[in-house]
Chain A
Amino acid sequence: EVQLVESGGGLVQPGRSLKLSCAASGFTFSNYGMAWVCQAPTKGLEWVASISTGGGNTYYRDSVKGRFTISRDNAKNTLYLQMDSLRSEDTATYYCARHREWSYFDYWGQGVMVTVSS
């Protein structure tokens, strides 16, 4: 069974940093692209970032370019999102998702809440 479990969320002040993790199990992690998708409170879904199987290619939505870094450790079956220079508008639930061949997201974690507020 595919499982994705996020951690690392919480309350952080504007301008500070936070690092999210996503532990994957139930599939060969190194064979799949991965992604982060966010959802602001009572809002819709937004793709945030994606990473290729080996980690050599990364892609970001414009609003997080230069502030967020997606990475992975295939030996640990773990996906990361380093979030720097956080803004209030980054407040959201962040979902880790398996990204099929740079197309759709077929499995999602349960999500982790990030609140940016002073």
Chain B
Amino acid sequence: EAQVTQNPRYLITVTGKKLTVTCSQNMNHEYMSWYRQDPGLGLRQIYYSMNVEVTDKGDVPEGYKVSRKEKRNFPLILESPSPNQTSLYFCASSLRGPNIYGYTFGSGTRLTVV
């Protein structure tokens, strides 16, 4: 089944403890992206990647890192999480870009930082 898989689905952590949210897609998509979804603010793009070893900042990159060493994986790293990073996170992929091909989204990761 074609899908984007995120792990974990739920995570509660403490301020400052490094964490990684994994994202993997099995569709050979070139484009991958991370979003956070917050009430009243909608979806905001954190980082995106147009292909392997090519990443760039989205609208809200502060406090996050990403890497794209392989085409299928695009992990999101929070080096020192803070409470304002409590949110619902989505990974998404697209064949060559969401402008024409649309996105396939993962099921989301609900992160709580205390």
Do A and B assemble together? no
